[in-house]
Structure 1
Amino acid sequence: MTTPAHPSTPATAAAPNDAPELLRAPAADVLDTTELGRFVRHVEAARGEAFADYRELHQWSITRPEHFWTSVRDFFRVRFASPEEAVLSDRTMPGARWFPGATLNYAGHALHGAGAADSAPALIAYSQTRDRVDLTWADLRDRVGRARAGLRRLGVGRGDRVAAYLPNIPETVVAFLATASLGAVWASCAPEFGARSVVDRFAQIEPAVLLAVPGYRYGDKDVDRRATVEEIRAALPTLRAVVSVPYGPGTLTDAVAWDDLLAEPGSPDTDPVPFDHPLYVLFSSGTTGRPKAIVHGHGGILLEHLKNHALSWDLSPGDRMVWFTTTAWMMWNALVSGLLVGACPVLLDGNPLYPDLDAQWRIAAETGATLMGASPGYLMACRRAGLNPGRDHDLAALRQIGAAGSPLPAEGYRWVQEQFGDRVLLNVGSGGTDVCSGIVQGGPWQPVRAGEISGPALGVAAAAFDADGSEVVGELGELVITVPMPSMPVGFWGDADGSRYRAAYFDTYPGVWRHGDWARFAETGSCVIAGRSDATLNRGGVRLGTAEFYRVVEEIPEVADSLVVHLEDPAGGNGELLLFVVPATEDGLTAELHERIVRELRGALSPRHVPDAVIAVAAVPRNRTGKKLELPVKRILLGAHIADVVGPDTLADPTAFDAFLALAAERRNP
């Protein structure tokens, strides 16, 4: 059903005027009870610095980045096999070089777990394909040593690429750490991806070895992947071997068995490599073209994840970290890095909502999770369903709930606060594959305000820029980073002259990283991410963030989901602002619901936010990490073929595009 709406148009789209509700202030004893507090005391003792609050600490971290990152290295006792010649040899972006001359190995730090006991749990794995698996630190080191020896027998050495078509299971972690220990380069895709999507990624890096599973179980459905593996194998001529990891139905033919790869004992040694030596290649989602092959280095990821996991997530030896992710998302890499600080990652594979919405909370309770990560969509679904995890589960060990992947509405903040009170910190963050970490997020020394991210992460000089490259506060702008950080990519694979890398991040503001998000920073330092800037709505020359619409529309009980796009007018007019909604009831998009949507948008935001049409659809297209696909929808409505704008294997529900394809056809042939 389509209903028109014709708004009046003010000159500007203003930011909300009401100050956000303060839900949680930092505890009075925060510096005495957290890893961040230990770090602050370390800096005070080692450098004579003193900080009255988080903002002063953050300001020091970005004005004296050499001092900050050296302090991170020293506090976490990072071991350089060869010393650095400098901390930051050149601040110019792109091209900044951190710790030149230093050698180290990420896996060497991950395998020692900040001194965790051999008998302590290192990995806990839940799966719908097999029973729970528990590995101690001794088990993990033994298996990594064996896998390292097995990969060497296959001829894998420094610089070779090892690709994994594997789910989030212990074997994947073992293979990754073994690969890293040799100085080889890792890349992974989740087995729900089809052959085309996998080959689009792996063919770029020309892997020597492919690890794969024959299948898996998703909820109550068995999925056979043997034919897909053969198709992938045939399209990768550089492969010297395929390793079959036993999982799901059947086995792979003409492949090295996992048990044979691990048959011979080996020492979990690690080969020192340069600070910026490639550790792994992460791929962009591929929803708007060929995925970018983003290369991250050993040293940058090591320092960034040590800082993030301990100082923001407050993880330390003995903690347990639950965060549903697939091996295709950078959150898998972040989950594995829990090992760096001695925390135990809890691996989840299968349908995250099976057998019910409560499943992830039950696992968090069973494992004594201290940090639970969740998508904003999951938290809002729990709220809508009336779940009470704080009452119904023993989550006494829980100290933080992390949320990332898309904006969380203010109501989601309040729901978490109602469930857990001040005992649990809601840490909402935003970052991405490009830096493999958070850019803005919370932490123990930062306040939590409803609907806002607490502020820039330590060591990240985040700001919002207008079109002229000037910083803006209190209004929407491009999210930028003005000072280099170690986990910025080494580059893109195959981009010998760096031209694609520069074009991706540095063409808009020379010397400044443009992340591609649309953000608003407050005077307090907190911020709101308003969506991807390439999907931001340009309404008669005024930009509107998509997340602002969703915060209003999806709080209406009769709306289950929504998506908004703007189709520009080539002549420079207002264009068409289209709002798609998934009705939450059988009544569908009634005239009354339409009027309420218009009224809420006009009152909460501005008349400019009122759409030209409200259209009911059965589902909103999302990728597998839960992000709404505004730009692919927009391109389809403008006449593009779906195969040119989105890979079907990146979609959570490929049928979600059906309504938009039908609408595009109607627009071509009215």
Structure 2
Amino acid sequence: MKVALKIAPAATHVAEGAHLWTPPAERASAAAVEHFRYWVNARLGLDLPDYDALWRWSIDSNDAFWAAIWRYFDIRSDTPYARVCSAREMPGALWFEGARVNYAEHLLRHESRSPDAPALMHASELRPLESTSWRELGRRVRIVAEKLRALGIAPGDRVAAYMPNVPETAIAMLATTAIGAVWTAASPEFGARTVIDRFAQLAPKLLFVVDGYRFAGEDFPRDAQVSEIVAGLASLEHVVCLPYLQPLDAPIVPGALRWGELIEGPDVSVAQFRYERVDHDHPLWVLFSSGTTGLPKAVVHSHVGILVEHCKLTAFHVGLRPGSRPMFYSTTGWMMWNVLLSGMLQGATPVLYDGCPIGPDPAVLWKLIEQARVTHFGTSPSFAQIMQKDGLQPRRDFDLSALEMVLLAGSPAMPETFAWFYDEVKPELWVTSQSGGTEFASALVGAVPTLPVHAGEIQSRLLGMDVQVWNEQGVELVDQVGELVITNPCPSMPIRFWNDGDGQRYRDAYFSTWPGVWRHGDWIKRNARGGSYIYGRSDSILNRYGVCIGTAEIYRSVERIADISDSLIVCCELAGGRFFMPMFVKLRDGGALDEKLREKIKRQLRIDCSPRHVPDQLYAVDDIPYTLTGKKMEVPVRKLLAGWPLEKAANRDAMQNPAAIDWFVRFRSDNRVMLSS
């Protein structure tokens, strides 16, 4: 379909918290979370009248809540669990001791219910949209799992993947976890050193690799990177290569197995195959922190913790059901890839896409949404802002009749972003935002299908998540910005960090501020009706003369200006207790940061925010540095300007656009006297 593009004017201001949508009564009453509320009331003799009451019960009667999740979703275990939770303490709480479960088994159990229905849909810049049935997916997973066993991969062994977002990667993950081995992944745009820093911590026994990938119409062979990664992992016994760019070429690693060899073999029936059901604390996978500075944290999750959490999340807070088709633009190195595949727990059909979301065709994802009949679309707020600024009007140009929900994640979502989806995509949408992270492979605050939508507002705290907002003295706040903390454990908290024998690194990361209370590192405000606003990482908050300023509110104001494509702001501490708060703006093509634009930016910040929000200086930059998961690199830039060497302040291989950091290195060198005085 031909898409007409126009340059959009500055976004219309939308008041934070303005009401945008209320779910129709029939839609709210049909939600799985409502069915669960009725079920709990009937089974346990309760009288919980609404979501707020259900949430409060999930916290006050935490063991009863998670026991109800176990029963409601019919969790399969070899043995009954002895108790739900060992103790209400963090860290150290043990969940469902005595149970033996397998996560992959639950993802694939819909094979017997709907064998010919699509289990996965997938497309890329190299491949057209195709689907894989539950029967075929299960068949391939079982063949690969048995091949892995034959190669000597045993429960607890680590299997790593340097693979794109394609069905082969999903099959490899399911096969690995089906036999009790431990999965970890990095997407192929990662540099070799970044991958080695991650994988070497785990000493993997087998590595899946790809020969290259395509992004924005350009091919990126990874022969050299793969060779360096293999050489840097002394623990490897086997390498499996997917020839993706050049399907007929020999493996890029001498002696490696080709994917085709792994996937070929006699069928293994469901009855013949044995899932490795594992103990309550057996590792499922290892996810890594962004690693923008320092060695990435290797976050270990358990089968049982992720299983109960993802059952709850996908059904009650995303609203997935058999036949749903969720698509979240992600790479395999981000936890949202794992969450996307978890939709199979509800019989949903994840839609995978590998490639650039905005180029060379800026409407590529909307075309895929139309073609695949996507029902739940997950994306980053920055993607929506690009669509908005480029004047894309999906509502006019595409058939979006199947689309029910938009889920924004990865960074704070502005009120104007919410409003754009209602104006230009679909007025009947459930548009929501969430915040959580790698540590939980889930959300802490997020979507609730029975509640109204307010501009920029995250609807509520999720069931079982005891989220509070605290000030520095540990006093709970309402309608004020403070630290996001968690005061009770939940099953998907990390069971540990890898190679952290005494747990000290784990405690230092989250429990050093308030022992026994999880400090998440996000700056958050919760209002009286229960909605939340995330204002960015608390370690990137602008502390100017003792007044804390969230960067998200500054970006919201400045990036409504049509001449501004992107921006980044930091606050540098100088000698004598002074501060220097520069702002760096990326201009639209042909723009210039002249005095008129400078004054316009300052005036808008004074009007939208306050005089304290106005930067000390404005600078035009070539590009704004982002992590591979789409987060602005505020902390690394601040460290650079404070004099840190580049190799300690930022990891180039963990960036979307490594060249962007070079401008700031030159800026530091040119302004050394000013930044040091």
Structure 1 and Structure 2 fold alike (TM over 0.5): yes
* Per-residue Cα deviation, 1:604-647 (whole angstroms, up to 9, x for no partner): 21221111111111211111221100001111111112221222
Are 1:145 and 1:269, in contact at CA under 8 Å, matched by a contact in 2?
A: no
Q: Which residue of 2 aligns with 1:547?
A: 552
Query: Secondary structure of 2:659's partner?
Result: helix
Q: Which moved more, 1:171-180 or 1:216-225?
A: 216-225
Q: Which moved more, 1:87-96 or 1:62-71?
A: 62-71
Work out the CA distance in 2 between the residues paired with 1:182 and 1:170.
19
Q: Which residue of 2 aligns with 1:442?
A: 447
Q: CA deviation at 1:586?
A: 2.1
Q: How does 1:272-311 map to 2 (within 5 A)?
A: 272-311=277-316
Work out the CA distance in 1 between the residues paired with 2:664 and 2:511.
33
Q: How does 1:165-184 map to 2 (within 5 A)?
A: 165-184=162-181
Q: Which moved more, 1:651-660 or 1:317-326?
A: 651-660
1:637 is aligned to 2:641? yes
Q: Which residue of 2 aligns with 1:459?
A: 464
Q: Which residue of 2 aligns with 1:372?
A: 377
Are 1:149 and 1:264, in contact at CA under 8 Å, matched by a contact in 2?
A: no
Query: Secondary structure of 1:56's partner?
Result: helix
Query: Secondary structure of 1:423's partner?
Result: coil
> Measured at CA, do residues 244 and 17 of structure 1 come closer, stay the same or move farther in structure 2, by a change above 3 Å?
closer
* Per-residue Cα deviation, 1:103-160 (whole angstroms, up to 9, x for no partner): 1000110111386410000111101123434210000110011001110111001100
Q: How does 1:72-91 map to 2 (within 5 A)?
A: 72-91=69-88
Q: How does 1:55-66 map to 2 (within 5 A)?
A: 55-66=52-63
1:594 is aligned to 2:594? no
From 141, 145, 148, the counterpart of 2:145: 148
Q: Which residue of 2 aligns with 1:10?
A: none
Query: Secondary structure of 2:444's partner?
Result: strand
Are 1:82 and 1:101, in contact at CA under 8 Å, matched by a contact in 2?
A: yes
Are 2:16 and 2:415, in contact at CA under 8 Å, matched by a contact in 1?
A: no
Work out the CA distance in 1 between the residues paired with 2:554 and 2:171.
43
Query: Secondary structure of 1:125's partner?
Result: strand
Q: Which residue of 2 aligns with 1:222?
A: 219
Q: Which residue of 1 aligns with 2:569?
A: 564
Q: Which residue of 1 aligns with 2:473?
A: 468
Q: CA deviation at 1:571?
A: 3.0
Aligned-residue CA RMSD (Å): 1.7
Work out the CA distance in 1 between the residues paired with 2:306 and 2:499.
20
Work out the CA distance in 2 between the residues paired with 1:269 and 1:222.
40
Work out the CA distance in 2 between the residues paired with 1:160 and 1:587.
54
Are 1:208 and 1:241, in contact at CA under 8 Å, matched by a contact in 2?
A: yes
Work out the CA distance in 1 between the residues paired with 2:407 and 2:104.
25
Q: CA deviation at 1:660?
A: 1.0
* Per-residue Cα deviation, 1:290-347 (whole angstroms, up to 9, x for no partner): 1000001101111111111111111011111111110000001001111111101111
Q: Which moved more, 1:607-616 or 1:181-190?
A: 607-616
1:67 is aligned to 2:64? yes
What residue identity is the alignment partner of 2:606?
Answer: R
Are 1:113 and 1:343, in contact at CA under 8 Å, matched by a contact in 2?
A: no
What residue identity is the alignment partner of 2:640?
Answer: I
Are 2:31 and 2:450, in contact at CA under 8 Å, matched by a contact in 1?
A: no
Q: Which residue of 2 aligns with 1:37?
A: 34
What residue identity is the alignment partner of 2:662?
Answer: D
Structure 2, gaps ≥5 residues long: 1-12
Work out the CA distance in 2 between the residues paired with 1:118 and 1:23.
40
Q: Which moved more, 1:151-160 or 1:650-659?
A: 650-659
Work out the CA distance in 2 between the residues paired with 1:572 and 1:478.
24
Work out the CA distance in 2 between the residues paired with 1:442 and 1:131.
32
Work out the CA distance in 1 between the residues paired with 2:76 and 2:365.
36
What residue identity is the alignment partner of 2:512?
Answer: D
Query: Secondary structure of 2:491's partner?
Result: coil
Work out the CA distance in 1 between the residues paired with 2:400 and 2:134.
25
What residue identity is the alignment partner of 2:122?
Answer: A
What residue identity is the alignment partner of 1:536?
Answer: I
Q: How does 1:119-158 map to 2 (within 5 A)?
A: 119-158=116-155
Work out the CA distance in 2 between the residues paired with 1:485 and 1:66.
10
Q: Which residue of 2 aligns with 1:7?
A: none
What residue identity is the alignment partner of 2:393?
Answer: N
Q: Which moved more, 1:226-235 or 1:21-30?
A: 21-30
Are 2:581 and 2:616, in contact at CA under 8 Å, matched by a contact in 1?
A: yes
Work out the CA distance in 1 between the residues paired with 2:216 and 2:416.
30
Work out the CA distance in 2 between the residues paired with 1:269 and 1:338.
23
Q: Which residue of 1 aligns with 2:587?
A: 583
Work out the CA distance in 1 between the residues paired with 2:591 and 2:213.
38
What residue identity is the alignment partner of 1:347?
Answer: L
Query: Secondary structure of 1:494's partner?
Result: coil
Are 1:115 and 1:342, in contact at CA under 8 Å, matched by a contact in 2?
A: no
Q: Which residue of 2 aligns with 1:3?
A: none
Q: Which residue of 1 aligns with 2:485?
A: 480
From 642, 655, 661, the counterpart of 1:651: 655
Work out the CA distance in 1 between the residues paired with 2:286 and 2:224.
25
Q: Which residue of 1 aligns with 2:366?
A: 361
Q: CA deviation at 1:552?
A: 0.8
Q: CA deviation at 1:233?
A: 0.7
Are 2:158 and 2:182, in contact at CA under 8 Å, matched by a contact in 1?
A: yes
Q: Which residue of 1 aligns with 2:187?
A: 190
Are 1:122 and 1:140, in contact at CA under 8 Å, matched by a contact in 2?
A: yes
Are 2:111 and 2:134, in contact at CA under 8 Å, matched by a contact in 1?
A: no
Work out the CA distance in 1 between the residues paired with 2:431 and 2:491.
26
> Measured at CA, do residues 17 and 367 of structure 1 come closer, stay the same or move farther in structure 2, by a change above 3 Å?
closer
Are 1:129 and 1:218, in contact at CA under 8 Å, matched by a contact in 2?
A: no
Work out the CA distance in 2 between the residues paired with 1:436 and 1:531.
19
Query: Secondary structure of 1:291's partner?
Result: coil
Query: Secondary structure of 2:577's partner?
Result: coil
Are 1:84 and 1:100, in contact at CA under 8 Å, matched by a contact in 2?
A: yes
Q: Which residue of 2 aligns with 1:620?
A: 624
Query: Secondary structure of 1:29's partner?
Result: helix
Query: Secondary structure of 2:490's partner?
Result: coil
What residue identity is the alignment partner of 1:312?
Answer: H
From 324, 332, 341, the counterpart of 1:336: 341
Q: Which moved more, 1:580-589 or 1:630-639?
A: 580-589
Are 2:23 and 2:430, in contact at CA under 8 Å, matched by a contact in 1?
A: no
Q: CA deviation at 1:172?
A: 0.7
Work out the CA distance in 1 between the residues paired with 2:653 and 2:489.
34
Work out the CA distance in 1 between the residues paired with 2:110 and 2:67.
20
Q: Which residue of 1 aligns with 2:261?
A: 260
Work out the CA distance in 1 between the residues paired with 2:185 and 2:530.
36
Q: Which moved more, 1:460-469 or 1:246-255?
A: 246-255
From 17, 20, 34, the counterpart of 2:17: 20
What residue identity is the alignment partner of 2:302?
Answer: G
Are 2:211 and 2:243, in contact at CA under 8 Å, matched by a contact in 1?
A: yes
Are 1:108 and 1:269, in contact at CA under 8 Å, matched by a contact in 2?
A: no
Q: CA deviation at 1:570?
A: 4.4
Query: Secondary structure of 1:394's partner?
Result: coil
Are 1:440 and 1:455, in contact at CA under 8 Å, matched by a contact in 2?
A: yes
What residue identity is the alignment partner of 1:601?
Answer: L
Query: Secondary structure of 2:214's partner?
Result: strand
Q: CA deviation at 1:352?
A: 1.8
Work out the CA distance in 2 between the residues paired with 1:422 and 1:100.
46
Q: CA deviation at 1:246?
A: 2.4
* Per-residue Cα deviation, 1:431-465 (whole angstroms, up to 9, x for no partner): 11011111111221122111211121111111111
Query: Secondary structure of 1:103's partner?
Result: coil
* Per-residue Cα deviation, 1:462-481 (whole angstroms, up to 9, x for no partner): 11111111111122111111
Query: Secondary structure of 2:174's partner?
Result: helix
Work out the CA distance in 2 between the residues paired with 1:319 and 1:457.
21
Q: Which residue of 2 aligns with 1:202?
A: 199
TM-score, normalisation: structure 2 = 0.94
Work out the CA distance in 2 between the residues paired with 1:153 and 1:445.
49
Query: Secondary structure of 1:344's partner?
Result: coil
Q: How does 1:383-462 map to 2 (within 5 A)?
A: 383-462=388-467
Work out the CA distance in 1 between the residues paired with 2:257 and 2:311.
35
